[in-house]
Structure 1
Amino acid sequence: MGPDTGELETPSLVDLAVARLRADILSGGIEPGERLIEEQLTRRFGISRAPLREALRLLGQQGLVDHFPRRGARVATLTDADLRELYGVRDVLERYAVEQSFPIDDPRRLVALGAQLEAMRAADRVGDRFAMAEAHRNFHVALVGLANNRQLAWVHESVLVKTQLYMAINLRREADDGHGADNVARHQRLYDTITGVEADADVVLAELSTHGARQYI
C-alpha cells in the first residue's frame, strides 16, 4: 500500500497478477498451450499492461509461460520427454537430500513435513485441487528441506513447479475419479517411514523408490 493514498503500488500489482495466474495455471484452470490474451487479463485483474507483462515475464522465468515473438504468451507445455527428464532430476535430488538428512537429530525438523501432509488431507476433504497440488509440492519441498541445503532446495523447487504444471491435469482427474485419498495415503506412508523409530537413509530411500512420484506421466 502507498504511505498516504492507500493505492496499490506497481510491485504489488505484479505480485497479484503472478499469484492469480500461477494459481489458475497450476490448478488446471488454464490449460497448457492456452493463449494468454493481454486485453482479457488486464480487464480481469483491473491492471494496466505494464504490470501484467512483468508478471508474464516472471512466470516465464518459472517455466510456466512461453513467450513467442509477435504471437504473445501461452501457458507452457511439456512433452513426455520433458517429463521423464524432470522426474529423473527430481528423483536424484530427493534421494540425495535423504542421504544428507539422516539421522534426524531433532524432531522439530519434521514439523513442516507433517503440516503439509495435514494440508493435503484437508484439501482432499473439500476437493480443492489447487490446495492439493500446492500441499503436494510443499511436502516434497519440506522433504528436501531436511538436508538444509539452500542451493539444493532452489534447484529442486524449480523442477517441482514445472512438473506441477502437468500434475494439475492429473490431480483434477484424481479428484473427478475420487482418487485424491490415494495421493494422501502414499504421502502418509512416506511420512510414517521418515518419522519411524527405525528410520534411516536406507529405509527411507526404499520407501521413496516405491512412492509413485512418476504416476503422473
Structure 2
Amino acid sequence: MYGNESDVGAAIAESDLSRKDIFLTTKVWYDRLEPQALKASVDESLAKLGTDYLDLLLIHWPSPDDAVPMADYLGALRDVRQAGKARHIGVSNFTIAQVDQAVELLGADALLTNQVEVHPFLQNHKVVEHCQRLGLTVTGYMPLAVGKVMKDDTLKRIADDHGATPAQIALAWVVSRGIVAIPSSTKAKNLQGNIEALRIELSQAERDAIAALDRGERIADPDFAPNWDA
C-alpha cells in the first residue's frame, strides 16, 4: 500500500547493518485477506524487501463488513508465522470487539500488537486500555497528528518548559502511556529529535494538561474502516 518495500529492501542491502539488528515490519492490505492472497502478499513483500523473514507482520485493516471471515485471515497469518516467515504477528485498526475475537481465535499470546491511531487529539483510551489489560502491546501511529501538534498552545508551552519541540512533547506523552510511538519523518534532524523525545519526563500536571486536549479527532477514517469504539 505504501509502495516503499523495494526502496527499503535496497536501503537495507546497501547498509552495513546486520539483518538481526533491524526490526522489519510490513502489512497485508485489506483486499488481500483471502488466505492464499494473504500468503502471496507476504511472499511478494519478502522478495521486495530482500529478506526471508519479517520481524512483525500486521493485518492493516480488518476485513470490511467481514467479507473475509476473521478466522480465515488470522489462520493464514498464523500459518505464515509457523512457516518462519514472520517472527511476530499482529493487527492494526482493530476495535475492542475485533481484538477480543482475534484473541479468542488465536489465543492471548499469539498477537504482539494492535496498531491504532493515537495522538493528543485522539487518545483512544478504551481500545488502548483494553489491549493493555490483555497484555497486547499498543503501537500508536500518527502520534504527531500529521503536524497538528506543532500548532497547539498547550504543547508549545510545555515544550518551552523542557527546551523541546511540541512534537517531542507529544511523543513523550504517548510513550508515557506505555504505547510504542511510530512517528514518520523524511529528515534526519527530525528522526534524531524523535529519539531524544524518549529522554523527556513529563510531570503529572503536564500529562493532565495534554489529556485535556482529547477531542476525538480521528485522521485515518476511510470508508472501509470498522465501527470505532466511542
| TM-score, normalisation: structure 2 | 0.31
Where is the helix percentage greater, Structure 1 or Structure 2? 1
Q: Which of the two has greater strand per residue?
A: 2
- TM-score scaled by length of structure 1: 0.32
- Which has the bigger relative contact order, CA under 8 A and spacing at least 6? 1
